[in-house]
A and B are shown apart, each in its own frame.
Chain A
Amino acid sequence: MKRKREIKTMSREIVLGAIKNSFVKLNPLKMYKNPVMFVVEVGMFITLLATIFPTYFGSTYDEVGYNALITFILFITVLFANFAEALAEGKGKAQADTLKKTKKETMAKLIKSDGSIKMVKSSELKKGDIVLCEAGDIIPADGEIIEGLAAIDESAITGESAPVIKEAGGDFSSVTGGTKVISDSIKVQVTVDEGESFLDRMIKMVEGAKRQKSPNEIALTTVLVSLTIIFIIVVMTLYPMAKFVHVRISATTLIALLVCLIPTTIGGLLSAIGIAGMDRVTRFNVIAMSGKAVEAAGDIDTMLLDKTGTITFGNRLAADFIPVGGHKKEEVTYYALVSSLKDLTPEGRSIVDLAKKMGVKVPEDILDGAVVIEFTAETRMSGLNLKDGTIVRKGSYDKVKEYIKEQGGEIPEDLDKEVEKISLLGGTPLVVVKDKEVLGVIYLKDTIKPGMKERFKQLRAMGIKTIMVTGDNPLTAKTIAEEAGVDEFIAESKPEDKINVIKREQAAGRLVAMTGDGTNDAPALAQADVGLAMNSGTMAAKEAANMVDLDSDPTKIIEVVAIGKQLLMTRGALTTFSIANDVAKYFAILPAIMSDTLPSIKVLDIMKLSSPTNAILSALIFNAIIIPILIPIAMRGVKYRPMSANALLARNLLIYGLGGLIAPFVGIKLIDLIISSIF
């Protein structure tokens, strides 16, 4: 049901659009925003001039072809970098377009102050207006239900086709523009002005139109600029120093060397990595309000999770059958099963499942002629009256005690003890009765969602501390906490507890993530470094959070953290790769430059390239084509599996560090072989 809006990675239109945009982006006024590639573009203009007026640039007329070739390769290098960015933007835009289709102009039934209804265009609605939405209507704007209850189809936003129930008051009162009322009617107070709705913000985010560089991206750009300046100094000072030792280097060759050295690979892919990272979050049906929020998700140290709904299902399931009064376990299990055969509540079904799993079977005809006694709030017992007259019941301790007394039965001495034991563990005891005899107790327990234990184990390996928040008593909370494997828990929590815990963790230097949906959660969501609100929650919660999960699945926070980490890792890995590449490029270009003056420099030409010119060309071509080769990694992100930082580092270093050192030696040699076979 998830990721309905996934766009095909490389649809034809996206690629074509990206190609067109990579030319548009050549405009120097746009280019300067990417300082590394801007340097390449400036270099390209210089080599272009050197092609036209070679003698002014230390070249001869014989070298016009070489200068032109270098100019062409530089042109392609810039184009490749632009293409990477345009492709990422194109994918975002495609997503935005599908969203925009949702944002149809609709007519709204505006309730005027005198109570009459006026039809207006949805774009004319203002904050504070009240509209009527009836079955079949599209909700015209984001708002809060102030009257009524309705089933709403939110598939346009969430991709989830099952309708959700929304009602005035409480935590399920907010509605999103573009969603559809399926039944009943509601009065909605509009909470945003035109252009600021949730959908609008989503569109802006995925479009990348308002994309601002995130803090880490700025910091990394600073380092890349610094490296670029160092290499500009290196190359500029190389000319006079080389001249001093009678080595002639043309401007074109110097620029080729410069472009090879500056971190064009990461410089060309950096913005694509950022856009693609946001895009991955969106595809997970989570809307992040900023790139900063996604980055912060990667840094999370502590995660605050609600017990009910996130860690456990919230309903209690059978965990054990405990006999009392000298009965056998098989007996309790059998009658517990019989009592629940017609009980369709989750509890009842779990009793049947567990008993069957324990190998207990009932005769097939047992239900023939049996009378089903339904659970009522009054009796708080349910069960069957069998054909043979046997009365089987299960029910709460208090009511069963009363019932047995009425029937004149005996209460076994050890019943109290067992019931208390279960209560202390946080479970719910259901007492099983056959006729007027108490057989034993069913232990109902809050059940942890499948896979959560493994998740917590992974989180621990990633160094993330988990804190469970619950209204249960400390003993119950402890039982669940231990079973799920969370690191800490807060029992009997009051609304202000969450924010206090967040502040405490933050004071210790930790970054905190939490999920929430209620208005009560809003302050804590705002305080947390990453606050993920459920789309089903209140507007206040969504406003306070910096991410909204459209599927309203609180466990998704874990995936969001993984995406944040992956984003940062991808940047780090490609930066390392880019810098490690330089070593091989030096070994290609420097011997080539020196070879005329000092033939013995050949010992440094460890790749044994075919000629000095070919060496420079090969290095430059490698430098250009590595950008498109790495686009898939930039878009997809480097592989991420939850593990310790040290293991991740070792793995990435091996692939991108050592790989970055070796790959260009192989690549440049191959390109040289191809070039030398052509010419």
Chain B
Amino acid sequence: MYSNIELFTMILVIVLLTKPFGTYMYKIFEYKPMKLDKVFLPVENFIYKLSGINAQEEMGWKKYALSFLLVNTVMMIIGYIILRIQGFLPLNPTGVKNMESSLAFNTAISFTTNTNLQHYAGENGVTFLSQMIVIVFLMFTSAASGLVTAAAIMRGLSRKTKLLGNFYADFVRVTVRLLLPISMVITLILVWQGVPQTFAGKIVVDTLEGGKQTIITGPVAVLESIKHLGTNGGGFFGANSSHPFENPTWLTNMIEMLLMMLLPASLIYTYGLMINNKKHALVLYISLFVIFILLAVGAIYTESHPGVAYSKLHIDGTPYGNYEGKEIRFGVSQSPLFATVTTAFTTGSVDSMHDSYTPLGGAVPLILIMLNTIFGGDGVGLQNIIMYTILTVFLTGLMVGRTPEYLGRKIETKEIKLIAIAILVHPFLILFSSALTVMLKVGVSSVTNPLYHGLTQVLYEFSSAAANNGSEFAGFIGNTVFMNIMTGLVMFFGRYITIILMLAVAGSMAEKIPAPPSPGTFRTDNALFGAIFIAIVVIVGALTFFPAIILGPISEFLSMT
């Protein structure tokens, strides 16, 4: 039934949580003393000692970026190896085989890059050991990677030195102080709600029909908490969060949505504290929520008012909306809301099948991963927001008659070159790979629908990969060698090029002496800037993807009328 109650309840809760969590992250990033130091410091010092980290060493942007790449590459390779030999390894009660090479390549990249695009068949594709060492472990580290690189970038924009912090120490702190404690608490709540956490493996039950059914369980709850907190999105089961073991109740559904939003939303408050300009952060926060709410309301409305699509089915007048691909316990309001949250906050978990949405309802998640800036995933979302903010300031800042400056620092050729490439990467990856796919036979074979909807499937797959989202238009056949390699590369470049470029921007901005604001400087802390920011995000996004959106979902919608 049509209702926006959950949407606004959730926003209210997030707004209340933003300040405490934003402040907490600020304290983590800025190495401020906190009450729990007694607990955390010994753990961290032990890890530093064990791994030989000199937490005091400050790094320039290049060293920070290299450390980040090094750690990510090593984890990616380990993940790949484990997946390839998982069949020989312990903790495999369900008898899963070794993963095929292109699929392992895709999966290792997918989880290291915080994408969690799953071309393997969930519970049947990986062993419990892989679930824990590859999947859950990478869910923590990829979220931490996003958050700490964001921290380094924020430091570059607020500090007066070229040094952006120590990657390893940041990485350990974020994991120990933020991701682990929250995950632990959430895991327990999920277990209370009925999510399994066991090594028991298969349960064979007698069905009412008198047949036998094999039900796979496993260490689900721990995965489920970091899956959402870390904006990862990869499910234990192929059916992801629509599976009753992953997301059994209305409450778990709400918790999962809140968890996705928690860190990306709070991080904007952290940003305000870091740059000592809370009003600017507030303007960004409100602007993003404006776009988010509009799209969420749109998705909920179209899914609960499917219109012509249903009138052709002679069940016109139904007050229930489009239930295809949706769980009855979530309905036509919570499902599209979940779809909006999972794509805005670039998580990628699903509690309904986006492929079955009405054309316009399905366009909402597609648009969100194409924009890739409406809050976004842990850390990387903020990086994209900063990228768009700098672009906005540069394009319109000239109109006040000064060389554009952001947070008092001039935006000059060097930064704008980096930003210009960063802005290019996302549309290039999506459009180029989509075009290539529809041109090649190996590509077209993955598309399970003709015409407009088929094109939408392709666009969705690559937008999801490029935005490191990971959700799919379920009908699409992802597990082919071609698609595994294509999406693997798209995820890889989509993640690392942008982060490295933004670190370079931060490194370059850090060297500048910030000028104090005056009545003559461009203001980024008022409603006017908020409106311009929204306009630039929407217009740049629209100009880039409008033709594709027209050919896909909009044509599909119009072809039904």
Query: Which residues of A approach B to under 8 Å, CB–CB?
Result: 215-216, 218-220, 222-223, 225-226, 229-231, 233-234, 236-247, 261, 295, 298-299, 301, 460-465, 506-511, 564-566, 568-569, 571-573, 575-576, 579-580, 582-583, 586, 590, 594, 598, 600-601, 603-604, 640, 644-646, 648-650, 652-653, 656-657
Contacts and interface: CB of A to CB of B under 8 A. Distances in A.
Contacts of B412: 215, 219
Nearest to A225: B420
A219 B416 contact: yes
A229 B555 contact: no
Contacts of B411: 219
A592 to B, nearest CB: 12
Interface string B376-399: 000000000000000100111111
B520 A645 contact: yes
B522 interface: yes
Given A215-B413, A572-B397, A298 B519 contact: no
Given A216-B403, A569-B398, A640-B401, A222 B528 contact: no
Nearest to B559: A598
Nearest to A598: B555
B438 interface: yes
The 4 closest A-B pairs by CB, nearest first: A463-B520, A572-B398, A565-B401, A463-B518
Given A219-B394, A507-B513, A237 B435 contact: yes
A508 B539 CA distance: 36
A571 B395 CA distance: 9
B395 A298 contact: no
A569 B399 contact: yes
Interface of B: 391, 394-403, 408, 410-413, 416-417, 420-421, 423-424, 427-428, 431-432, 434-436, 438-439, 444, 451-452, 454-455, 512-516, 518-523, 526, 528, 532, 535, 539, 542-544, 546-548, 550-551, 554-555, 558-559, 561
Contacts of B514: 509
B455 A568 contact: no
Given A223-B395, A576-B395, A238 B547 contact: yes
Nearest to A600: B558
Given A226-B423, A230-B424, A245-B451, A645 B523 contact: yes
Contacts, number: 209
A601 B402 contact: no
Most buried by A among B394, B403, B512: B403
A219 B419 CA distance: 11
Contacts of B408: 509
A230 B396 contact: no
A214 to B, nearest CB: 10
Contact of A223 (B403, B420, B427, B513): B420
Given A299-B402, A572-B395, A576-B395, A510 B515 contact: yes
Given A463-B521, A571-B398, A573-B399, A244 B454 contact: yes
A276 to B, nearest CB: 15
24 contacts: A215-B413, A220-B398, A222-B413, A223-B391, A226-B424, A230-B544, A233-B432, A234-B427, A234-B543, A236-B435, A244-B454, A245-B555, A460-B519, A463-B518, A508-B513, A510-B515, A569-B399, A576-B396, A582-B539, A590-B546, A590-B550, A594-B555, A646-B523, A649-B522
A587 B520 CA distance: 37
B528 A575 contact: no
A644 B439 CA distance: 54
Contacts of B421: 226
A502 to B, nearest CB: 14
Contacts of A601: 550, 555, 558
- Specify which of A222, A573, A580, A604 lies most central, judged by the most chain B CB atoms within 10 Å of its CB: A222
Given A572-B400, A576-B395, 13 more contacts: A219-B416, A223-B394, A234-B547, A237-B434, A241-B438, A245-B555, A506-B513, A569-B400, A572-B397, A582-B539, A583-B539, A594-B551, A657-B396
Nearest to B542: A583
A658 to B, nearest CB: 10
A216 B454 CA distance: 44
A282 B543 CA distance: 40
A650 B528 contact: yes
A569 B401 CA distance: 5
B528 A649 contact: yes
A646 B546 contact: no
A245 B551 contact: yes
Contacts of B512: 509
A473 B424 CA distance: 60
B438 A645 contact: no
Contact of B423 (A215, A230, A572, A644): A230
A649 B455 contact: no
Contact of B558 (A226, A240, A464, A598): A598
A560 to B, nearest CB: 13
Contacts of A243: 438
A648 B550 contact: no
A575 B428 contact: no
Contacts of A648: 399-401
A564 B547 CA distance: 39
Given A226-B424, A652-B399, A580 B539 contact: yes
B207 to A, nearest CB: 43
Contacts of A564: 401
B400 A575 contact: no
A644 B520 contact: yes
Nearest to B430: A237
Contact of B399 (A246, A508, A653): A653
A238 B543 CA distance: 13
A226 B418 CA distance: 10
B363 to A, nearest CB: 14
Nearest to B400: A645
A571 B513 CA distance: 25
A646 B395 CA distance: 15
A246 B546 contact: no
Contact of B398 (A507, A510, A575): A575
Nearest to A295: B403
A234 B434 CA distance: 11
Contacts of A215: 403, 412-413
Contacts of A582: 539, 543
A603 B360 CA distance: 15
B519 A462 contact: yes
A244 B436 CA distance: 11
Contacts of A565: 400-402
A239 B548 CA distance: 10
A572 B558 contact: no
A576 B399 contact: yes
Contact of B548 (A241, A261, A566, A572): A241
Nearest to B522: A645
Contacts of A241: 434-435, 438, 455, 547-548, 551
A230 B427 contact: yes
Contacts of B539: 579-580, 582-583
Nearest to B414: A219
A238 B546 CA distance: 10
